[in-house]
Amino acid sequence: MHFASDNSGPALPQVMAALTEANTGYAMGYGADPIMTEVRQHIRDIFEAPEAAVYLVATGTAANSLALATLCQPWQTVFCSPVSHIHEDECNAPEFYSGGAKLTLVGDADKMTPDALRAAIEAEETRGVHGPQRGPVSITQVTERGTIYSLDELNALSAVAETHGLPVHLDGARFANALEALGCTPAEMTWKVGVDAVSFGGTKNGCLGVEAVIFFDPKHAWEFELRRKRGAHLFSKHRYLSAQMQAYLHGDLWRESARKANANAAHLVAGLKGIPGVSFAHDPQANMVFATMPRAMHKALFAAGAVYHIWSGSLEGDDPAAPVTARFVCDWSIPREEIDRFLEIAASAV
């Protein structure tokens, strides 16, 4: 009953097998391995973007920070949601990599709205050289609250960005989960709705640690390569990044894995809906569920060995009915029986 994060489960067996398979003979390092050539082409094909610049790094924070730094000058500000990973969970990595750019928080929710974005952009740079200058818009898809922007919503946001000549970055740490939820193509969720650069996550969806960074305009390629090296994110034995991504993409494994994760979460949500006293803090649209439950229910679940993070409220206190919200993340690997067992315990705790 492990719902702590989609980074706490095991890697996909196919990914592990690919690593082992890649581990023979000699390969030039630093991205010059032949597997990377395949991966690059595969990603270009998937994204219908034959000119795209494609790179691999090992962490999502690296993907985001390096991509943003490439799109952003140090005197600019990045527009993002106040609950975005780049703002809340990267210990100032975007500020570090950009050389001191600012993050402007748009609205007060998981999803930015076009109106809030427009207002935030227009509020900046009314002061000439004195204020921060307008920089890229960064959109998180799936959001950090488990919700998803529709294609229309993405399009509307990037239209605002385009009006002001600002580039758009997509933090796709859970790219595949969003894609499966929307049932669209990678191109439809990115460059066709105005996205310029993507952090294309592999780690949370079954890899050991690999993320692609994709620029649809290859003019950013060389600068990104230098930033990656300078940031110490260029792997010498790069084939082990390439092999993960190769297996991840092969036979649409990445989509299948996300489908499983989303289905697991949907199963959890369906079960929770049937339990009195449980509600949802956010609409669970992908593989993350923010559920509010009575304190006593959490206690019963933890006592039974469930693992997950309390999000707001506290387990401490006298009132067993006090509402406490937790985050439950499902990956591809969580067995259906575990979810059912979890639901049984929760139901019994009513």
- Contact set for a second copy, span 216-245 (CB under 8 A): 225-227, 229-237, 240
Q: How many residues does the chain have?
A: 350
- For a second copy, the binding residues in 7-26 under the rule CB under 8 A are 7-11, 13, 16, 19-20, 23-26
Q: Which amino acid is at 295?
A: R
How far apart are CB 341 and a second copy at their closest, in Å?
Answer: 15
**Binds a second copy (CB under 8 A): choice among 109, 208, 266, 296:** 208
With contact defined as beta carbons under 8 Å apart, do 269 and 280 qualify?
A: yes
- For a second copy, the binding residues in 243-272 under the rule CB under 8 A are none
**Binds a second copy (CB under 8 A): choice among 40, 102, 259, 327:** 102
How far apart are CB 10 and a second copy at their closest, in Å?
Answer: 5
**Binds a second copy (CB under 8 A): choice among 81, 98, 140, 147:** 98
Q: How much of the chain is in helix, strand and coil states, percent to nearest 5?
A: 45, 15, 40
- For a second copy, the binding residues in 276-335 under the rule CB under 8 A are 307
Element holding 198 (H helix, E strand): strand 197-201
Residue closer to a second copy (CB basis): 49 or 207 = 207
Q: What string of DSSP letters covers 44-112?
A: HHHTT-TT-EEEEES-HHHHHHHHHHHH--TTEEEEE-TT-HHHHSSTTHHHHHHTS-EEEEPSSSSS-
185 binds a second copy per the rule CB under 8 A: no
- For a second copy, the binding residues in 30-89 under the rule CB under 8 A are 30, 57-62, 65-66, 73-77, 88-89
Residue closer to a second copy (CB basis): 203 or 285 = 203
Euclidean distance between the first and final Cα of the chain, in Å? Answer: 19
Determine how many CB atoms are found less than 10 A away from the CB of residue 240: 21
Residue closer to a second copy (CB basis): 185 or 312 = 312
How far apart are CB 65 and a second copy at their closest, in Å?
Answer: 5
With contact defined as beta carbons under 8 Å apart, do 178 and 118 qualify?
A: no
